Chains A and B, each alone.
Chain A
Amino acid sequence: MVYTLAQGVRRRLRGPSMIARKLAVLLFAAAVLGIAADKSDDPGRKTRVRLGGISVGFGYARYGGPFGYLWYPGGYYPYRSWWGPYYSPFWDLYAPLYYPGFFPGYLRESGPGIGEVRLTAPEKAEVFLNGGYAGIAKDLKTMWLEPGAYDLEVRTAAGAYARRIYVLSGKKLRIDTAEQEASR
């Protein structure tokens, strides 16, 4: 897993705006090249792009001027002011990006291996799984099940729909009770 942070900063009065911008462009280009270089032989492999969230912030910093000196080889350095030029209130805005654990993809990857079943059926239909009552279809439009084979039955006033389903982790199975396959 690779994490890349591209960041550009523009400061009107001072600050390394050009360096930050160039760095941002370089990092972004590296990310794009990394994506392009990662070619897979498997045609089933897909690339998904998603928006993790937008952070908007406002910061205020006030410098009180030098009030102490820090020794360094060659002389003393006013340490309070040393802090000033390098500290930016915007750094706090980037904090979530410093920790890969906040990456939602990482969280999903660590999650349990379960499969999704999307059920389309009349809302009041009763749903049974392996003979046991699971609920009404209105509440079971999406079910998360462990990998395995299940006997699904959907009962309505008009009749019953029965099918053996096979759930695999990370896969989505769509079931529409209006569609009856002739071969099953």
Chain B
Amino acid sequence: MSTRFAAILIAAGALFGAGGEGLKPRASASDYPASATGAAAAIGATLLTADEARSRFSTDVSRGYLVVEVGVYPKDGAPIDLGPGDFMLRLAGREDSIRPVGPKAIAGVLQKSASGDREITLYPNVGVGYESGRGYDGIRRGGWSTSTGVGVGIGDTRPPASTDADRKTMEMELAEQQLPEKVVTAPVAGYLYLPGKVKPDRQYELEYQSPAGKVVVRLEQKRADTK
């Protein structure tokens, strides 16, 4: 690739690149739990467990999406026109694969499907009373009375993360940490969001496609977390 073409690619990336800057890449691809090297770049990746996703995101992204942290390390500083769309995920041994979804779509889905908690409030009450006097029939009546009771209030709290401001915030959080979409010459890292839920003890394959060829990284879902 000529120097001029590389410069054009970088300029185009700067102009049309979308999303945030992603994450700080680890020192090398081999620092990720899974890695592979191709003709154009080395790829390191890890599939986040639901617990990890919950601790790293305010957005409840694990409710319907797989999160893969990926690092891309271009070989010899050669420019790569990179984007989340270059990746796909599939279960090992299967042909059908899924591609990453954009932050805007995810935020819209999560905002609409946000569910509130149910709250049951108990109000116990006790009372002691004394009545005396004659009734209309002339019979004297009275004495001590006691009462006990419980009020039960059942209600749904407003779902968290369900306002328009929440949707924008979720979109921002996901976009800022997504794998950048731009021309890169240095290592970059970020998250990929793929539709689906983590299946326990399954092996996944993350495939990176570039003009220089494919790179397949074998990911394994950690046994401890199956949510």
Number of interface residues of A (CB under 8 A): 85
> Is the C-beta of B202 less than 8 angstroms from some C-beta in chain A?
no
Q: How far is the CA of A166 from the CA of B160 in the complex (A)?
A: 13
> Is the C-beta of B1 less than 8 angstroms from some C-beta in chain A?
no
Number of interface residues of B (CB under 8 A): 67
> Is the C-beta of A81 less than 8 angstroms from some C-beta in chain B?
yes
Q: How far is the CA of A25 from the CA of B170 in the complex (A)?
A: 46
Mark out the residues of chain A between 84 and 110 whose CB falls within 8 Å of any chain B CB in the assembled complex: 84-85, 88-90, 93-94, 96-97, 100, 103-106, 108-109
In the assembled complex, the CB of A148 is this many whole angstroms from the nearest CB of chain B, namely 5
Contact of B149 among A6, A166, A181 (CB under 8 A): A6
Contact of A103 among B130, B131, B137, B155 (CB under 8 A): B155
> Is the C-beta of B176 less than 8 angstroms from some C-beta in chain A?
yes
In the assembled complex, the CB of B35 is this many whole angstroms from the nearest CB of chain A, namely 16
CB pair B129–A1 under 8 Å, yes or no, is no
> Is the C-beta of B212 less than 8 angstroms from some C-beta in chain A?
no
- Residue numbers of A with Cβ under 8 A of B are 1-15, 24, 27-28, 31, 34-35, 38, 40, 42, 44-66, 78, 80-82, 84-85, 88-90, 93-94, 96-97, 100, 103-106, 108-109, 113, 146-149, 164-171, 173, 181-184
| 4 nearest CB pairs, A to B | A81-B136, A63-B133, A170-B160, A78-B136
- Residue numbers of B with Cβ under 8 A of A are 23-24, 26, 56-60, 63, 69, 113, 115-138, 141-163, 165-166, 168-170, 172-173, 176, 189
